[in-house]
Structure 1
């Protein structure tokens, strides 16, 4: 891969083919993002230019059908791409990973006619997806008005909000317990994104709240509904392990970026301890040991993540064959990698300061952003409950009941 590639080069070169080609393209995107990642994190501006970069590079349409301009790639490749981008910018990797899930949501939940139409339009028009689907809030109410559904309510979080072209809405059909998903233009009348995301990490994810005030959607756009009746499949519930693998991979990507950035700092700026007897920091035994320890842990977690991604792809390849058991066993495996990725990423991103030294805490270095990003998102749902899923499976052969978090 050329390390001097620029966005302009993408217009004159053929689209990547195969997993490695797309990972190389993601690395080029990461190289662009890395040039000012710390400064952009401090500024916290809406990442319009960064999303444009994802579109121009082709990463946005990675999973889209080739005949409509998409990359035609699979989920294991998408996870690796997310991980690569996260090395430079965890926020933009989260946006991209969530986009992949919401783009795929039509296939998870919708009828074949619906998802084929959505995926074709998304690839042709390079839609960037956001989602107003935070399950911890009171559900948005959906009223049935004949041929139209009307969504009304509020969500605390809506990742992608102001940089998205389309938004996935979710609510409960009034008077029932039936959930309804629909994709709407992000500039729809009644959809208001609030500029209130002000957290210590993942600062560029546009994850603020959203007000949904009478957003009207044709019944035909209600994912998975035929004649106002939902057509359930076990595959519908694969959204949780799929997005949890997105989480694990951008945690690991952030950790890898932290380790690479720290290693460069150690080689070029760190000073050896004056009483240690070594001329260079890279010769300090404790520094060498720490890098070896952290790298071994990261490599092991990455290998586990890749293995489980391949297992998940087999379910995506044959959606109608997914059973409660195969889905449950996959969820347990995903829970295991989520727990490992969380622990490894937190350890890497805080221990890098032990091997870079006091001067590395300068705000200008921006090393703190790696820990802040991981710490912020790993609170999404308690990792103890992920370990519990694994433990219950081992001890009693119990598979997790599908919920918004399992």
Structure 2
């Protein structure tokens, strides 16, 4: 008699309850901003909505990183380049949507007029169409990740060596985009956006829609990643993480599994960058700095890598602290960030979510012990 292997549920009931409650609370923030006046106790400021929207973009990037680091054992120190490339792809559309409303009242963006450009370079072709730009948001980070990953994984580069070359990659792209002759705005990047799909980008209603789209895609990315890691594919990915040589011995070729999850992670990160740009209002090469990629690793570590939900918690926690710290003690944030990472590494190796699970297990053991004593 054949036995059927049951696929585990995506989340248990408490996890689903927490996710749904958090999603509803987050969705209510822009609604309270639009419906209640500034003097009302239920009013949520536009600054708070924009800040939480930015945090959700960071959370999506942390989720993408956890998919390759937490479940496949591939530590990337270059995910900032995928985030920024997605942002630049969307930014090209937003710059063209400005039209003649720029300072120089030209069909070209102001930075091109200032640098005496006469026409758009070839790689700006069709970027005045929203859906083509959205296609670039997916294709550009995905293609870069596929090509880079293919040669790296085929050459069996892994561990610290892989981390170093990913950091070198993002640093090289940062230097490239800092140049004025690349057609991406140089040091200043893209900014001063006016419209998106014909709607004023600074209007509260537009900001609310962008926020809700970000929330929906973050939820969708979480479900998609969870479906992957709980499937047979997910078990193979964890086999790559735990013992790649043993996986090869039983007949699997890790190359294509690693390449798939690496490319998917880059695409999710690019989408996060594309959502980040219209809400923050700027994209420049500093988003590709190695420090930004290292921060993503810290978000995942603080929340709890290998959990998917943990990196989302970590992104909100660390960036919330950063917002407070940079306002109260602007010169001390980098020291505080380093201290957080050291403390988490030493005392919370499983992150915030791991600590919560540890307390739950301890309470369960205590409850079981007291029940045994009562029974005796």
TM over 0.5, yes or no?
A: no
Give the strand-richer structure, 1 or 2.
1
Give the helix-richer structure, 1 or 2.
2
Q: Quick one: higher RCO (CA 8 Å, sep 6+), 1 or 2?
A: 2
TM-score normalized by the length of structure 1 = 0.27
